[in-house]
Amino acid sequence: MNDTAFVLTLAASVAAAVPIALAALGELLSEKAGVLNLGVEGMMLVGAVTAFQIGDATGSLWLALFAGALGGTLFASIHAFLSVTLRANQIVSGLALTIFGTGLSTFIGKSIEGLPLATDFKPTAWGPLADIPLLGPLLFNQDPMFYATVVFALIIAFYLNRTRAGLALRAVGESPGTADTMGVAVGAVRYVHVMLGGTFAGMGGAYLVLGQVPAWSQDGTTAGIGWIALALVVFASWKPLRVLLGAFLFGFARRANFWLQGEGVEIPAEFLAMLPYALTVLVLVVWGTRDLRRRIGAPAALGVPYIRDER
C-alpha cells in the first residue's frame, strides 16, 4: 500500500468533511427544536452561488462566506414560516425548498457557470507541526474553516448540555407543551434554530466554492452533500461531536475512490454517487418509525407542529 497516498487521502477527507459537518450541525440544531428540514441541499446551493457572486465581485473570502451564510439563513426563514407559523407538513416544505433552491441557484448562477474564482481558502501554516507523521497533514495543514468547524461543534455541544438556553431548546424538541407551560416561547425557539440551521447550511455551501472547488457548477457543487448531512444527524444520534467523526467518515468515502483506484481496487463511481440518495431513503425510514428513532435518540416532537390548544 502506498502510505503517502493514503495519508494524503486522509488529509483530503478531513477537508471534505467540513461542508458536511457544517450542514449537519445546522440540521442538528433545527431537529433539536423539533423541526425536520429536508431543504438543506437547497440552502447549500443558495449559499454557494451567493458566496461565489460576492467573492467574485469583492475578492473577499470572509465577506463571501458571510453572504453565503446569510443566504442560507434567509432561505431557512421560509421553512420556519411554513413549518412553525403555518404548521405545514415539514417534509413537503423542506422538499419544496430544495427544489426551489435548486432552480433559484441555477437562475442566479447562469452567468457564472463553470467560471473559476480568483481566490480561495488556503491551508494554515503551523510550521514544524505540519511535519508530524500522519497528524501533521491531518490536523496541522488545513484551512481556517476546518478549525472553525471544530470550534462550532464544541460550542454547540456546550450550548446543548451546559446552558439554560440549550435546556430550553431540548425541552422544545422533546415536549413543546411542557416547555410552553414553563414559560419557554416555543415558536421563537423553533424559528431561531431553524434559521441557525440555514446559516450553517449556507456556510457549508459557501465553503464548497471558497475552499474546495473554486468554481460554480449547479450540477456538481453540492453533489448531494445536503442529503448526506441529513443522514449524518441520525447516524450521530443527534450528538454534535459525533457529527464531526461521521463527517470525516463520509468525507473519506467521497475521497477514497481515487486512492482505491490507485491501489488497483475498482469501485464504480456510480456506486459512491448513489450513496447520498440511499442514505436519504434510510433516514426517511428511520424518521417514519417512531420506536426506532426514539431508541437512537431522536427528539420526541421531531416533525410535529405545536398547537397550544392541543397541549
pLDDT tens sequence for the chain (311 residues): 556 777 778 888 898 999 999 999 999 999 999 999 999 999 999 999 999 999 999 989 999 999 999 999 999 999 999 999 999 999 999 999 999 999 999 999 888 887 888 888 888 878 888 888 888 888 888 999 999 999 999 999 999 999 999 999 999 999 999 999 999 999 999 999 999 999 999 999 999 999 988 888 777 688 889 988 998 898 888 999 999 998 998 888 777 766 666 666 666 767 766 766 676 677 667 666 666 666 777 898 999 999 876 55
Does residue 16 sit within a domain? yes
pLDDT at residue 235, as a whole number:
83
pLDDT at residue 112, as a whole number:
84
pLDDT at residue 215, as a whole number:
82
The domain tally of the chain equals 1
CATH number at residue 272: 1.10.3470
pLDDT at residue 182, as a whole number:
92
Closest CA to 189 of 84, 63, 114, 277: 84
Q: Which residue has the cell 475512490?
A: 257
Does residue 151 sit within a domain? yes
Long-range contacts of 278-285 (CB under 8 A, 24+ apart): 279/227, 279/228, 279/230, 279/231, 280/227, 280/230, 280/231, 282/231, 282/234, 283/230, 283/231, 283/234, 284/91
pLDDT at residue 310, as a whole number:
56
Does residue 128 sit within a domain? no
Secondary structure of the chain as H, E, C letters: CCHHHHHHHHHHHHHHHHHHHHHHHHHHHHHHCCCCCCCHHHHHHHHHHHHHHHHHHHCCHHHHHHHHHHHHHHHHHHHHHHHHHCCCCHHHHHHHHHHHHHHHHHHHCHHHECCECCCCCCCCCCHHHHHCCCHHHHHCCCCHHHHHHHHHHHHHHHHHHHCHHHHHHHHHHHCHHHHHHCCCCHHHHHHHHHHHHHHHHHHHHHHHHHHHCCEECCCCCCCCHHHHHHHHHHHCCCCHHHHHHHHHHHHHHHHHHHHHHHCCCCCCHHHHHHHHHHHHHHHHHHHHCHHHHHHCCCCCCCCCCCCHHHC
How far apart are alpha carbons 187 and 193 in whole angstroms? 10
Does residue 89 sit within a domain? yes
Are 290 and 268 spatial neighbours (Cβ–Cβ below 8 Å)? no
pLDDT at residue 136, as a whole number:
86
Does residue 12 sit within a domain? yes
Domain limits for position 289: 3-123+134-310
Does residue 129 sit within a domain? no
Does residue 158 sit within a domain? yes
Does residue 87 sit within a domain? yes
